[in-house]
Structures are given as structure tokens and as C-alpha cells.
Amino acid sequence: QKEVEQDPGPLSVPEGAIVSLNCTYSNSAFQYFMWYRQYSRKGPELLMYTYSSGNKEDGRFTAQVDKSSKYISLFIRDSQPSDSATYLCAMTAYSGGGADGLTFGKGTHLIIQP
Amino acid sequence: ETGVTQTPRHLVMGMTNKKSLKCEQHLGHNAMYWYKQSAKKPLELMFVYNFKEQTENNSVPSRFSPECPNSSHLFLHLHTLQPEDSALYLCASSQPGTRYGYTFGSGTRLTVV
């Protein structure tokens, strides 16, 4: 079983729709969860950063973490064509004070149709 | 310049060549990372440097050799690569002890012929 599972898509939705992206993971030590957005020919860009279980909202983006189910989600409201990109989930146990590498999902390719 | 800068953006090299990838960060971070991104695979962590000391080598073949002369610069020296090493190589930085995530560069697209 892979450490982080993420459906690669592509996921195609009409402009204005609510988008739901998710990842499952197997390592119960993970406690910091991130979502990155990656445009073609660019490096990943941090979108959301959450600690442990709960919800976090930032503008049109909401991140949810359910540690009991080992399941994280990213919701995008009022989706725009400019949201078309690959969305990567990432996570780490992060002991604090040290430098910890991230474990990534494969990424979901999202297409917002005008 | 701000952020994380990687050069070159594109590199084509033969299997017998030696080349180097460069990464520079202007964020005052003390940790730097090399990741490999291949098609249809998750980003793979290669190396971690914390305060210029290598703290992790994720079973990377010796044909990849990292160098971190200071907290702002990171190099990846390449020699006798294989075609399957063709990928996007991403550099990232972070500040240990904080919760602000990682900042990535735009990557070097490497093609081994």
C-alpha cells in the first residue's frame, strides 16, 4: 500500500462549480498536511497548510483533515479557469526543529471549463 | 531576486557527461531539499540539508552528488546518468522549527540521451 493515495484525474468541471480533491494516507504519524498547486512548467506553490484534524478556510479554498479516517480534502468554491492546474497533497510527521522531507501524493490534474 | 531560483531551466545531457544543477534561495531559510518529479509518480525526496549538513539521503544512486556550501546555495552534481533519470528536478527550502511549509523553485527539466 502506497503511503499517500491521490487520484491523478483528470478531473474536469464547469466554471463556478465546487471542486473536491482528496487524499488518503496510511502513516498515522503524519500530523502536518499541505496542499500545493502546480501550473505547467512551474514548481509547486503552497496553497494551504493545516495541523492535525479540523478545517481551515482561506478565501475560496477550504482544507479538511480527518486523522481518524486518514483522509484529507481540499474544496474550491466558485472555481475559475485560472484554477486549472495539478493539485498535490503533501504531509509530514514533522518533529519540529528539524528539517523533514514531505511525502506527496501523485497529484490531481484539474481542468475548469469556461 | 526573491524566492527559490534554479538554473538551468532545461538541460540535455549524454550519459557520459558531467553537469551540475544550481539552486539559490533568498528567503533566509536554513533547510534545503532536492526532489525528483517524474511523470505519473509522486515527488520523490532525494536529499535534505539542515544548516548545511546533510541529514537525509533517500537511497539515491551515487551518480547524483549533492553539495551545500552554505544555507543559501544547493547544488546537484550529475555524472554517468541513465535515460530513466530524465525528470524535473525541484529544489525547495524551509525554515526548521516553523510551520510555514516549503517554498519550491521552478525546477530544472533534465533529459538524458
Is A98 in Cβ contact with B43 (below 8 Å)? no
Helix and strand counts by DSSP (H, E) for chain A: 0, 11
The minimum CA-CA distance between A52 and chain B, rounded to whole Å, is 12
CB-based contact A44 B45, cutoff 8 Å: no
Q: What single letter denotes the amino acid at residue B47? A: F
Which grid coordinates are listed for B47? 536529499
What pLDDT is recorded for position A99? Answer: 65
Cβ atoms of B98 and B112 within 8 Å: the answer is no
Interface size between A and B, measured as CB pairs under 8 A:
66
Average pLDDT over residues A56-81: 96
- Minimal C-alpha gap between A93 and chain B (Å): 12
Residues 6+ apart with CB under 8 A from B77: B18, B19, B20, B64, B65, B66, B67
Contact criterion met (CB < 8 Å) for B55 and A44: no
Instruction: Give A13-25 pLDDT, tens digit per residue.
Output: 999 999 999 999 9
pLDDT at B59: 86
**pLDDT of B54:** 82
List pLDDT tens digits, range B78-96.
999 999 999 999 999 988 7
Distance in angstroms (rounded) separating the CA atoms of residues B105 and B5: 5
Q: What is the largest CA-CA distance in chain A?
A: 45
Query: What pLDDT shows up at residue B38?
Result: 93
pLDDT of residue A92: 87
Residues in chain B within 8 Å Cβ distance of A46: 101-103
User: In whole angstroms, what is the distance from residue A26 CA to residue A101 CA?
Assistant: 17
For residues A14-37, give the mean pLDDT.
Answer: 95
Helix ranges (H only) for chain B are: none
Integer Cα distance of B18 and A109 in angstroms: 34
pLDDT classification of B70: cutoffs 50, 70, 90: very high
Closest CA to B34 of B111, B83, B107: B107
Give CA torsion, residues B26, B31, B37, B41, to 10 deg.
-140
Whole-number average pLDDT of chain B: 91
- Parallel, antiparallel or unpaired: strands B31-37 and B44-50: antiparallel
What is the mean predicted confidence (pLDDT) over B33-43?
92
Beta carbons of B97 and A97 less than 8 Å apart: yes
**A59 in contact with B, Cβ within 8 Å:** no
The pLDDT value recorded for residue A97 is 52
Q: Which residue is closest to A10 within chain B, CA to CA?
A: B40
CA–CA separation, B46 vs B66, rounded Å? 9
Question: Which string of DSSP letters, residue by residue, matches A38-70?
Answer: E-TTS--EEEEEEESSEEEEETTEEEEEETTTT
| Cβ-Cβ contacts under 8 Å, B102 against chain A | 34, 46, 102
Q: What is the pLDDT of residue A93?
A: 84
| Model pLDDT for residues B10-35, shown as the tens digit of each residue | 999 998 889 999 999 999 998 999 99
Residue A79, helix vs strand vs coil:
coil
Question: Sign of the CA dihedral A86, A89, A92, A94?
Answer: positive
Report the pLDDT value the prediction gives residue B81, as an integer from 0 to 100.
93
A45 touches chain B (CB under 8 A): yes
Q: Which three cell numbers stand for residue A101?
A: 522531507
CA count, 13 A, side-chain hemisphere, A113: 5
What pLDDT, on a 0 to 100 scale, did the predictor assign at position A96? Answer: 54
Q: So what's the pLDDT on residue B99?
A: 61
Residue A35 confidence (pLDDT) above 90 = yes
